[in-house]
Structure 1
Amino acid sequence: MSEERKDKIIQDGVSRRSVLGIGSAALAAAAFGELSAHAQTREGTRKAEGDHSSSNPGQENKPLLAENPHSNTPPPTDQGDVGPIWYSYDLTHKRIQEGGWTHQVTQRELPSSTEIAGVNMRLTAGSFRELHWHTADEWSIMLYGNARVTVLNPDGTILIDDVSKGDLWYFPAGFPHSIQGLGSLAEDRAAVGGQKVQSPIQYTFRMEAMAPTKRSTGGEIRIVDSHNFPVAKNIAAALDIIKPGGLRELHWHPNAPEWQFYMAGKGRMTVFMPVGSARTMDFNANDVGFVPFNAGHYVENTGDTDLVFLEMFKASEVLDFSLNQWIRRLPPEMVTSHLKLDNNAIHTIPAENLEILPR
């Protein structure tokens, strides 16, 4: 690749990922050298978008395309086959009954998501989710309203607790539990035996009320895993709030795939896979995202309000590697050899894992 071509790619690439940081832009420039052998090229895509090659004179679902512009007309850096990384609860069957409804996104909708499935449920005031248990652990967050949860321990003690918006609960596999409309918490606790049968284990957590794990001008992130919620041994989560134009920086997770639920705002995610494959999709509230194990990815707020979403992992803790931090931890000579950056450029890359970068 010529230096002129490489400089042009870096300049143009920053327009797509300007908030990634110079380290990410430079890495993208190096990667484009490998991608040039693929049928789809940056220049070819530009030419196609400049004439009628990318248009569709046939039928289109215009509302759907308007919500997913980067799937309909992918950026030229998208290559190969990544597999589905997007679905929406609003496209699934909604089971409606007196007292509420449920709909779910499972492996049927996202075939690669073999470890986590999601259910979105509404209970009307006074109704309840019948007594039950599962063969898998249950992790849930309250999106609005108030509810009362119960869970029984093998020793006969029981947790009865109230949850509201931003609170979560975790029920281990096989533990019988319920979710119900609210009455008097004190009366319910007294009716089952009071203090002597009260669970010594806390199965609920005030996620939204906790101080952010990390905060910057670009947003904030709250992490809840076995370190601060000990009962959650098999499911870890992060709640991301990204300001307009901000970015969950380019990173990957070494211990589990990532399952996402978008709660508010508009965003865009690109997932990078081996041998130059990449896929970009747009996300809106009530959408589900999926990132394969160890796949590099970023999430950008493309709207004018906060982007709020959950990262979920079938793991005991949230672990990630930051691309920027990796570059800064390497000897500068090694970075220069790989990415053709001078020492001044290298030192503009953030040295820490900032999680969320500003505009």
Structure 2
Amino acid sequence: MTLYSRRKLLATGAAGGLVAAAAATGASAEDYSAAAMSDPGPHDPAQAATNPYDWQGLPTDHGNLGMLRHSFSQVHNRHTDAGWAREVTVRNFPISKNMAGVNMRLPKGAVRELHWHVPAEWAFVTYGVGRITAVDSGAQRFVADVKEGDLWFFPGGVPHSIQGLGPDGCEFILVFNDGNFSEDSTFLITDWFNHTPKEVLAKNFGVPASTFDNTTKKDLWIFGAPVPGSLADDLAQSQQPFVTNPYAFPLGDQKPVFQSAGGSVRIADVNNFPATTMSAALVELEPGGLRELHWHPLSDEWQYYISGTARMGVFHGEGRNNTVEFHPSDVGYVPQSIGHYVQNIGKDTVRFLEVFTTPQYADVSLASWMNNVPHELVAAHLNIDVATLQKLAQRKTPVVPV
């Protein structure tokens, strides 16, 4: 299957190139005249190329489901001299009402300031190594190092920090169970200190007021600090008990719950990660592989694409269906119980995250549903031969081909 690159799309022009893109991915485009497909007025081929199906959908597409895709590569980046972060929230991605995402980079030594927030925080490390800390409401502590492929989860209100370790710090994705969340509006320890009288601080901590003479007068947010020592040294500084359920989980190291020639699925939910109240899957699709037609009955789905080129078809009922193309750093969103599939249409492995606001991961397979009710009933609906239905798998096959 041929990967039709963005560069080639730009080279061939918006209209003709996007038609060719649909053909190159094995999907037939609607057959319109050259005049009907022309766009002689002002247009931006680069923008159009991000999702060729906006210009010309598949023959099965119908209606307008709005924006189902956004990208961290297209949003404002907030920088400091120590690191950066950018966010996709309901403000720039209106469909994302129940979840917001942040992409953050912390070079070696850089710290995301000690802070907390109302929503829960689910995170996945996409690069490097970092150290995370937290303390719960029972004064139980947590300190751990996380690497690429690991995730962490902090319940809402639990104070925490993140720091990049050697050799080159870390980068990660954060997902919050509130679409209105903003990285710019968390509760920072320096902010509270700056707005509390010194005599109150002195009384609270039992130290002289002069202790706070050199406390910074500005919010730090992301700032440079010395690289911490060993994990064992950090753990030795507190005698408080460890949290009962650790806040970190090595998702990338888990054995897939499903694996076939088409790819694999790894799941992290309350069943294997007791600390979490959110669930997720790490999906890999080999070229041509398909994340089967399905839906999620318990929660909206927030997606993050790590590698490869994918196409998602979304069925919304009432005759409405849209197709969307995804590339690395893109975010997708599918409302609860809306049918969809994801297909690898490129040459490289597609890796993406599915994240949900519920502690239990759940999906309903279209094929499994069809094949576990009487065959004659399905045949009457779809005019499919009963003998064919009898040969289909009754168990879920999350990734095909098997």
User: Per the alignment, in what secondary structure is the counterpart of residue 293 of structure 1?
Assistant: coil
Listed as ranges, the gaps of 5+ residues in structure 1 are 1-14, 20-41
- Opposite residue 259 of structure 1, the aligned amino acid is W
> Which range moves more in the overlay, 168-177 or 324-333?
324-333
> Which range moves more in the overlay, 61-70 or 167-176?
61-70
* 1:199 and 2:231 are equivalent in the alignment: no
Q: Is the 8 A contact 1:129 1:178 kept in 2?
A: yes
Q: Is the 8 A contact 2:130 2:163 kept in 1?
A: yes
* Aligned equivalent of 2:338, options 292, 295, 298: 295
Relative distance call for 1:62 and 1:240 in structure 2 (3 A) is same
Listed as ranges, the gaps of 5+ residues in structure 2 are 1-22, 166-227
Residue in structure 1 matched with residue 38 of structure 2 by the alignment: 55
Measured after TM superposition, the shift of residue 17 of structure 1 is 11
Residue in structure 2 matched with residue 46 of structure 1 by the alignment: 30
Residue in structure 2 matched with residue 141 of structure 1 by the alignment: 124
Task: Give the 5 Å matches for 1:154-303.
Answer: 154-182=137-165, 183=228, 184-193=230-239, 196-233=240-277, 235-303=278-346
Task: Provide Cα deviations, 1:124-155, integer angstroms capped at 9, x if missing partner.
Answer: 10111000001000000110111100010112
Measured in 2, the distance between the counterparts of 1:84 and 1:116 equals 15
Residue in structure 2 matched with residue 28 of structure 1 by the alignment: none
Task: Provide Cα deviations, 1:293-332, integer angstroms capped at 9, x if missing partner.
Answer: 1100000001101000000111111111111111111211
Relative distance call for 1:17 and 1:100 in structure 2 (3 A) is closer
- Opposite residue 208 of structure 1, the aligned amino acid is G
Q: Is the 8 A contact 1:128 1:181 kept in 2?
A: yes
Measured after TM superposition, the shift of residue 109 of structure 1 is 1.9
Measured in 1, the distance between the counterparts of 2:44 and 2:401 equals 34
Task: Give the 5 Å matches for 1:290-329.
Answer: 290-329=333-372
Relative distance call for 1:46 and 1:154 in structure 2 (3 A) is closer
Measured in 2, the distance between the counterparts of 1:168 and 1:150 equals 13
Measured in 1, the distance between the counterparts of 2:282 and 2:30 equals 37
Measured in 2, the distance between the counterparts of 1:80 and 1:119 equals 30
Q: Is the 8 A contact 1:71 1:282 kept in 2?
A: no
Computing the radius of gyration over CA atoms, which structure comes out larger, 1 or 2?
2
Measured in 1, the distance between the counterparts of 2:75 and 2:84 equals 12
Measured after TM superposition, the shift of residue 18 of structure 1 is 9.0
Q: Is the 8 A contact 1:151 1:176 kept in 2?
A: yes
Give the CA RMSD over aligned residues: 2.0
Measured in 1, the distance between the counterparts of 2:391 and 2:42 equals 48
- Opposite residue 232 of structure 2, the aligned amino acid is A
Relative distance call for 1:190 and 1:301 in structure 2 (3 A) is same
Q: Is the 8 A contact 1:243 1:358 kept in 2?
A: no
Residue in structure 2 matched with residue 106 of structure 1 by the alignment: 89
Measured in 2, the distance between the counterparts of 1:17 and 1:340 equals 28
Measured in 2, the distance between the counterparts of 1:192 and 1:73 equals 60
Q: Is the 8 A contact 2:30 2:57 kept in 1?
A: no
Measured after TM superposition, the shift of residue 354 of structure 1 is 0.5
The structure 1 segments of at least 4 consecutive aligned residues displaced by more than 6 Å after TM superposition are 15-19
User: Per the alignment, in what secondary structure is the counterpart of residue 134 of structure 2?
Assistant: strand
Residue in structure 2 matched with residue 27 of structure 1 by the alignment: none
Residue in structure 2 matched with residue 24 of structure 1 by the alignment: none
Measured in 2, the distance between the counterparts of 1:16 and 1:75 equals 13
Residue in structure 1 matched with residue 55 of structure 2 by the alignment: 72
Measured in 2, the distance between the counterparts of 1:334 and 1:156 equals 58
Relative distance call for 1:347 and 1:64 in structure 2 (3 A) is farther
Relative distance call for 1:126 and 1:72 in structure 2 (3 A) is same
Q: Is the 8 A contact 1:247 1:356 kept in 2?
A: yes
Residue in structure 1 matched with residue 136 of structure 2 by the alignment: 153
Q: Is the 8 A contact 1:256 1:293 kept in 2?
A: yes
* Aligned equivalent of 1:125, options 81, 104, 108: 108
> Which range moves more in the overlay, 206-215 or 54-63?
54-63
| Count of aligned positions | 317
Residue in structure 2 matched with residue 354 of structure 1 by the alignment: 397
Q: Is the 8 A contact 2:281 2:354 kept in 1?
A: yes
Measured in 1, the distance between the counterparts of 2:30 and 2:317 equals 24
Measured in 1, the distance between the counterparts of 2:334 and 2:371 equals 25
Measured in 1, the distance between the counterparts of 2:243 and 2:302 equals 30
Measured in 2, the distance between the counterparts of 1:180 and 1:59 equals 46
Measured after TM superposition, the shift of residue 84 of structure 1 is 1.4
User: Per the alignment, in what secondary structure is the counterpart of residue 126 of structure 2?
Assistant: coil
